[in-house]
Copies of this chain bind each other. A is one copy, B any other.
Amino acid sequence: MAAMTTNVNPDLQNERNKATFDPIQLTYLLHNGPQQTRRKRYIQSLALSDRVKQNFRTWTELSREERYEESMKKCIYCAERVKELGLKDPVDIYIYNQMLTGHENSPFGLHNSMFTDVLTQQGTEEQKAKWLPLAKNYQILGTYAQTEMGHGTFVRGLETTATYDPKTQEFVLNSPTLTSIKYWPGALGKTSNHCIVIAQLYTHGRCHGLQPFIVPLRNLDNYQPLPGVEVGDIGLKFGYDAVDNGYLRLSNIRIPRENMLMRHSKVTEDGVFVKPKNDKLLYGGMVMIRSFITGDCGRGLSQACTIAIRYSSVRHQTEVTPGKGEEKILDYQTQQYKLFPALSTALAYLFAGNAIREMYLRVMADINKGALGELPQLHALSSGLKACSSYAANEMIETCRMACGGHGYSQASGFPKIYVNVTPACTYEGENTVLLLQTARYLMKCLNSSLQGEELPNLVSYLNKPTGGRTSTISDRLSLQSLVEAFEHRAARLIKECGSRIQTLTSRGMKPDVALNSTSVQLVKAATAHVECCVVKIFVNEVEREDINPQLKPVLQAVCRLYTVYLLLQNSGEFMQDGFVTGQQVEILNRKLLDLLNEIRPNAVAIVDGFDIPDAMLESALGRFDGQVYEALYQYARNSKLNKTEVSDAYYKHLKPFLDRQRQISTPSVVTSRL
């Protein structure tokens, strides 16, 4: 259980009593079985007890600068403690760190991920032998600097230069323009002493495109920036207080030739550029990260759902029937309509995250055997999933927050922190719209293949089905197959319409690039339809698995139906436009949706319990496992830093002198302390 307590709010206990399945079964399903679940819980309890012993300061009490400092303290503690505990498995380490830090992003985050990953993937054996031990033993601390002030998603536009000087066998790095200043890389501002800088490589007067270079930033003895390095924090953001996202301006920084990561491209001693054998391999890392973001978004949303659903089952408001007492707000249809689709979406992206990760591992294994065939399909799907999952989480976390009324707006609820941590996922690792357009471009290629009678990869094979003249088989039975068909039909129609529009425009003499831009709104819709169709299929496959616990299965199937029906109704016009789905069918679905809300209602709390998110990770007064929300809100208020004194400093400094002046102006006799 997320927390054992003898003092559970009876409202919440009643919810748990009436559930038709054991939440642990869902936990097992989401966390790869009983053994891994036990391991997860064991590591979490270790981290939690360490966290309590270390007595870290409460996040809400701290200023931004203190948050950075406290988080530094935490990640240093983690680094040493993980070694002490002998944790080796990356999953164990991830769980330990995450539990210890709550959901703060840490100043060591990029060192442990991007910095070491890029070294591993793009360094030669020699380079890895030199740098990886340094990185893994924290003898250097690094980050990854790609984004510049003027360029983010359009990576080719980066302006930082690295010019090879054959005389000294060094690269000379420069930020030639204001817009070329690196901006945003995490932990760049104050934490890192090294950095992988992505720069345009010049040798013998020619540009050879972007390459990664290891650049030392700070003197390891006193941490002063090295000569020619202007580096600092970029100031307050929406969130991410604990991370020193930084800027970096380079002026004639010289680094040895060996500091260019040369596993793929090379520069010889005399400055000859040697091209990589296969460009596609470079995509691997990007695909991996985007795949992981999908699951992260599912997890962020599942946290928000946990908070909102538990709170809604202890919060009472409004007497519907006079004299019968105030209802639990979870019993209002409108509340269910906000929270259960969010719940179903969280599950959809948890499953999709698992599926894409498995697909990634399979495709990578194939690639290592030389088979690159599935890479385009994986790339397109991972881009699209990243976009759709982050948009959905972004929107629905806020829906969950607002469904908790005023208290949702307090940091005590935990929502604001979840939101500001998840929302950047819409932007980083490829801006969502740009990613959806990449997915769309892949779909356009598939469409052309299909028109030429070629075989299509399995995820887009629906493009080969005829679209004209067919109608949906959706009926009162609400078979999942009929819903999947509808999603395939909608995606196919939108993709084909994009294809015809582009063809029409180009046949009228428009350049292909311009025609693409003139179709981009529709292309985004088509890509979204494709991705949603894939998510629906993944979800359906998951809930039809033979090995699911028989009590859990019907519950998950209801949630899957809700996800599908809700998504269809949110976009019903797209399903109806060519008459595939009829008005009558939409009416059926509207009715079924309400039935599904009722069907899910008794298990809502059990489902979020099944996410198995400990209180210490939620850090929410509203989402507590024991449901004692009002006591927690009251304690939260009392702990406000402004309450350290009964009378605030602002009173003595400003308010008292002002009130004194006002008394002197007016008749003094009127105001007395007796008022």
List the interface of chain A (C-beta within 8 A of B). Answer: 60, 63-65, 68-69, 72-73, 76, 79-80, 133-134, 137-141, 147, 149-154, 157, 178-179, 181, 183-184, 189-191, 194, 216, 219-225, 232-238, 244, 247, 316-321, 326, 331-335, 337-338, 394-395, 398, 402, 405-406, 408-412, 415-416, 423-424, 426-428, 431-433, 437, 511, 513-514, 517-522, 524, 569, 571-579, 583, 586-587, 590, 593-594, 630-631, 633-634, 636-643, 646-651, 653-656, 658-659, 661-663, 665-666, 670-673, 675
In the A-B complex, list the 4 residue pairs whose CB atoms are closest, starting with the nearest: A572-B573, A235-B640, A233-B642, A63-B63
Question: Would B517 and A320 count as touching, CB distance under 8 A?
Answer: yes
Partner of A648, one of B68, B631, B634: B68
Residues in B neighbouring A633, C-beta threshold 8 A: 149, 183
Give bound CA distance, A56 to B332, whole Å. Answer: 47
Question: Would A642 and B68 count as touching, CB distance under 8 A?
Answer: yes
Residues in B neighbouring A65, C-beta threshold 8 A: 641-642, 649
Question: Would B577 and A637 count as touching, CB distance under 8 A?
Answer: no
| Residue of A153, A514, A577, A586 ringed by the most chain B CB atoms within 10 A | A577
Q: In the complex, how many angstroms separate the beta carbon of A298 from the nearest chain B beta carbon?
A: 20
Residues in B neighbouring A571, C-beta threshold 8 A: 573
Question: Would B650 and A60 count as touching, CB distance under 8 A?
Answer: no
Give bound CA distance, A92 to B497, whole Å. Answer: 55
Partner of A139, one of B134, B140, B663: B663
Question: Would B630 and A149 count as touching, CB distance under 8 A?
Answer: yes
Question: Would A654 and B69 count as touching, CB distance under 8 A?
Answer: yes
Give bound CA distance, A519 to B150, whole Å. Answer: 51
Question: Would B183 and A647 count as touching, CB distance under 8 A?
Answer: no
Question: Would A235 and B412 count as touching, CB distance under 8 A?
Answer: yes
Residues in B neighbouring A338, C-beta threshold 8 A: 433
Question: Would B643 and A232 count as touching, CB distance under 8 A?
Answer: yes
Give bound CA distance, A157 to B318, whole Å. Answer: 7
Give bound CA distance, A654 to B79, whole Å. Answer: 13
Residue on B with the closest CB to A644?
A: B65
Residues in B neighbouring A139, C-beta threshold 8 A: 659, 662-663, 666, 670-671
Give bound CA distance, A633 to B182, whole Å. Answer: 12
Residues in B neighbouring A649, C-beta threshold 8 A: 65, 69
Partner of A659, one of B138, B316, B646: B138
Give bound CA distance, A137 to B648, whole Å. Answer: 22
Residues in B neighbouring A643, C-beta threshold 8 A: 189, 232-233
Question: Would B138 and A662 count as touching, CB distance under 8 A?
Answer: yes
Question: Would A60 and B236 count as touching, CB distance under 8 A?
Answer: yes
Q: In the complex, how many angstroms separate the beta carbon of A182 from the nearest chain B beta carbon?
A: 11
Residue on B with the closest CB to A73?
A: B654
Partner of A406, one of B147, B411, B647, B661: B147
Question: Would A216 and B411 count as touching, CB distance under 8 A?
Answer: no
Q: In the complex, how many angstroms separate the beta carbon of A136 from the nearest chain B beta carbon?
A: 10
Q: In the complex, how many angstroms separate the beta carbon of A236 from the nearest chain B beta carbon?
A: 4
Q: In the complex, how many angstroms separate the beta carbon of A60 from the nearest chain B beta carbon?
A: 5
Give bound CA distance, A654 to B571, whole Å. Answer: 52
Question: Would A642 and B189 count as touching, CB distance under 8 A?
Answer: yes
Residues in B neighbouring A216, C-beta threshold 8 A: 675
Residue on B with the closest CB to A594?
A: B521
Provide 9 A-B residue pairs closer than 8 Å at the C-beta atoms, listed in order of the A residue.
Answer: A69-B648, A69-B649, A150-B316, A152-B405, A223-B646, A244-B648, A247-B637, A332-B520, A569-B573
Residues in B neighbouring A651, C-beta threshold 8 A: 190, 223
Residues in B neighbouring A423, C-beta threshold 8 A: 398, 402, 409
Q: Given A184-B406, A517-B333, check contact A235 B639 (CB 8 Å).
A: yes
Q: Knowing that A234-B637, A236-B640 are A-B contacts, what are 4 other residue pairs whose CB atoms are under 8 Å apart, sorted by A's residue number?
A: A137-B665, A178-B631, A321-B514, A337-B521
Question: Would B235 and A183 count as touching, CB distance under 8 A?
Answer: no
Give bound CA distance, A140 to B138, whole Å. Answer: 59
Give bound CA distance, A140 to B427, whole Å. Answer: 49
Question: Would A647 and B223 count as touching, CB distance under 8 A?
Answer: yes
Q: Given A138-B662, A416-B238, A636-B234, check contact A671 B220 (CB 8 Å).
A: yes
Residues in B neighbouring A191, C-beta threshold 8 A: 655
Residues in B neighbouring A69, C-beta threshold 8 A: 648-650, 653-654
Residue on B with the closest CB to A658?
A: B76
Residue on B with the closest CB to A511?
A: B321
Residues in B neighbouring A427, C-beta threshold 8 A: 402, 405-406, 408-409
